[in-house]
Structure 1
């Protein structure tokens, strides 16, 4: 009886677990430019001499020249030049005469900050900035009646107390300028767009994403780099029209991994109809006679029919000669990558056939007839697979998905999956393994 586990459509929609790589490159100069555009002029102002510390100081802090940013590994180093105006209250008694009032002074410092950068599963950039050190460009000093009033220590306390305002501003701008979520959403939905692989065969590549993984943000040569990997299933679909997809409303949580694999698989399909396979097999057996028991018995194969029974291929062979009629053999079809042929293994008589010939033609069991049939049941499909790989490789060499988005890939190893039997065809499915990158301009120099 004919029985099938799969339909043609199911095989054409078979999914293969893959990872689509998306390189991320962000020049540190871009971040430096954005931070300098946002942090400028007056940064901090204290207009009261009396506060909780009773420091008797008023102060204003300005950025006086561009902030320099250097990135090393997962850290930013910021160099922030500041001008500071201080109005200090004083009280002195030179020569026994008490004098008091307020004096203004200006001085400059250069602060060095270090910011550790990370990204949370909810896509939030987390940076922790702290003051590493600072240098006095010019010292604060106030003179009253020829006396130097030491306010450097007071100024230091003022700075230490208010450094958090500067570090908070830095953290805020780093988070804004490394905002990856919206760009990841863009890549996620672009990755789901069907790619025409072979127009002549109406073959499309569709990626069904299931998750996102990313390497830590690391800087080298003043460029922050990471690899975003969209994990999902690839499908090669045969369709006369572009398969439809719907946008995903919510991006899944991010997983951070030391490495994103480059394992991308595309299913390559070759198919042979049962009619064509039977015709090729019949041509191979035409006119050939098989002898048994030293030539006492001879048979000739007159016809071959084929159909499926779950995972096995059934061969109905017509015989004439010492035995006339039909015999049934069953074997498991498989694709041999070495010979690039569709073959059978374990070909043997169907149980009913075996029982029948034991009674009427036991000699047919002696001559390894089933093994001889197995050796001849081979069908070349390598050319189909090679042509499919060539066509897909050409499509992936530099495929423009849309403006600013390019798909580039290389296919290398061919690994057999299995042979599927459907009501009409034998499908040989192999994996073309390789590496596929999605280049999104928006993720280069955000």
Structure 2
């Protein structure tokens, strides 16, 4: 072999050796995000059916707190020759009877009445004290979230026969008292109705429950996933008395969100929730949840997929040190910081999709970004091989299965005798989550999922 040929052969070997063993540096042009606008996405509203039961015992308890001590006072003697004060002497009892509420009210009556004639001043006044029980029946309805009743006094029952001492003799005066009380039947019944309405305004309780349910709570500590409910409208049907409780149907129209990252702020606004009366509420709970993965959190999870992994083609090897994601023109840009035979960052683009079997978000139609491809063609042609891209693409995915499972697991305690406040209990069931679609925004990748179920709320034992 001539010296010229030997020199040429050595030069070729040197080029091949250097091409195989030296580390090459990539300086690719970074595809910038489309813009930095706030995250905006469209989500379907959810509808939660919440049958509500309020026990008569609870209404009785609230009524006794509201209606206490003196419940009636008429101090005008001249209009009907009678003054009267009525004081509750024992707790009121409520009983269901033939579809109506029967109210039993133990009371004490102090009365002063004028008798005789005004002719030549021949009249006198006497005071009497009576102990007895009034029994009323009431029709029940719900109006503007207040339970109201229309009551009618059915009976007076005296612990002892009313009498008065006249000329040294006890003279029965039931015949005087009963007609006098009859005059005030409507007034006393109205007083009871007002007390029931004041003590049975359920809107504040409903708002308190919604505020508790709207507070974001952690569903997965590993993925820093939070669930948040945003009420929009509340519907209610007419109240129906069913033996020992009042039944009504509530319907909650709301948005549900699952957010990844820092705890979202509580944003419940009591004044913004609209209340509407309806004749019927759908029985099934339909939840449409937006599972939001910020690019920061998705990048962190995908970066962990590359830990300890090496990608090789012949003698050339690379490792991925870090992954970053962002959105550009409706596609996801995947930036891979790598070391090894090549140092630098390459950029891939793909379309997010969902694998219903593995419950993973992955990136379809993945390819090198054009600006990167031109540089790779000149400096590291082997990276363009489909086998390398396929291996990288297999790791550019993250599962939301645990998020969904954890989400459901974390929601179940809120459907198992959950008590957001004293005396309020929530129970229900929920089916598996089903994937609907993936959307890309400037701030996050959003997976929309749905579920169905049932729930009910019972009020019994509030303060």
Give the structure-2-normalised TM-score.
Answer: 0.56
Q: Measure how far apart 1:177 and its partner are.
A: 2.1
CA contact (8 A) 2:135 2:153 kept: yes
Q: Measure how far apart 1:166 and its partner are.
A: 1.9
Supply the distance in 1 between the matched residues of 2:250 and 2:432 (Cα, whole angstroms).
Answer: 23
Say what the alpha-carbon RMSD is for the aligned residues: 5.4
Supply the distance in 1 between the matched residues of 2:400 and 2:152 (Cα, whole angstroms).
Answer: 61
Instruction: Note closer, same or farther for the CA distance 1:133–1:380 as it changes in structure 2 (3 Å cut).
Output: farther
- Taking the TM superposition and a 5 Å limit, the aligned residue runs for 1:123-142 are 123=145, 125=146, 127-137=148-158, 140=162
Instruction: Note closer, same or farther for the CA distance 1:8–1:75 as it changes in structure 2 (3 Å cut).
Output: farther
Supply the distance in 2 between the matched residues of 1:188 and 1:73 (Cα, whole angstroms).
Answer: 34
Deviations 1:34-53 (A, max 9, x none): 544533357334452x32x4
Instruction: Note closer, same or farther for the CA distance 1:33–1:184 as it changes in structure 2 (3 Å cut).
Output: closer
- Taking the TM superposition and a 5 Å limit, the aligned residue runs for 1:159-198 are 159-198=181-220
Instruction: Note closer, same or farther for the CA distance 1:134–1:251 as it changes in structure 2 (3 Å cut).
Output: farther
Task: Tell me, yes or no, if structure 1 residue 254 matches structure 2 residue 275.
Answer: yes
How many residues end up aligned between the 2 structures? 348
Task: Tell me, yes or no, if structure 1 residue 211 matches structure 2 residue 229.
Answer: no
Deviations 1:278-329 (A, max 9, x none): xxxxxxxxxxxxxxxxxxxxxxxxxxxxxx998999xxxxxxxxxxxxxxxx
Supply the distance in 2 between the matched residues of 1:18 and 1:5 (Cα, whole angstroms).
Answer: 31
Give the corresponding residue for 2:224: 202
Instruction: Note closer, same or farther for the CA distance 1:382–1:173 as it changes in structure 2 (3 Å cut).
Output: farther
Task: Tell me, yes or no, if structure 1 residue 16 matches structure 2 residue 44.
Answer: yes
Instruction: Note closer, same or farther for the CA distance 1:71–1:6 as it changes in structure 2 (3 Å cut).
Output: farther
- Alignment gaps of 5+ in structure 1: 92-98, 277-307, 314-331, 348-378
Secondary structure at 2:148's aligned position in 1?
Answer: strand
Deviates more, 1:398-407 or 1:133-142: 398-407
- Taking the TM superposition and a 5 Å limit, the aligned residue runs for 1:328-339 are none
Q: Measure how far apart 1:233 and its partner are.
A: 0.9
Task: Tell me, yes or no, if structure 1 residue 242 matches structure 2 residue 263.
Answer: yes
Task: Tell me, yes or no, if structure 1 residue 445 matches structure 2 residue 462.
Answer: yes
Give the structure-1-normalised TM-score.
Answer: 0.57
Instruction: Note closer, same or farther for the CA distance 1:112–1:269 as it changes in structure 2 (3 Å cut).
Output: same
- Taking the TM superposition and a 5 Å limit, the aligned residue runs for 1:1-400 are 15-20=43-48, 26-36=54-64, 38-40=67-69, 43-46=72-75, 48=77, 50-51=78-79, 53=80, 56-71=81-96, 75-84=100-109, 85=111, 87-90=113-116, 101=124, 110-121=133-144, 123=145, 125=146, 127-137=148-158, 140=162, 152=174, 154-220=176-242, 222-226=244-248, 228-239=250-261, 241-248=262-269, 250-257=271-278, 258-259=280-281, 261=283, 262-267=285-290, 384-398=399-413
Supply the distance in 2 between the matched residues of 1:309 and 1:433 (Cα, whole angstroms).
Answer: 31
Supply the distance in 1 between the matched residues of 2:90 and 2:102 (Cα, whole angstroms).
Answer: 16
Secondary structure at 1:197's aligned position in 2?
Answer: strand
CA contact (8 A) 2:75 2:83 kept: yes
- Alignment gaps of 5+ in structure 2: 1-30, 303-326, 333-350, 366-393
Supply the distance in 2 between the matched residues of 1:423 and 1:103 (Cα, whole angstroms).
Answer: 86
Supply the distance in 1 between the matched residues of 2:356 and 2:97 (Cα, whole angstroms).
Answer: 47
CA contact (8 A) 1:412 1:432 kept: no
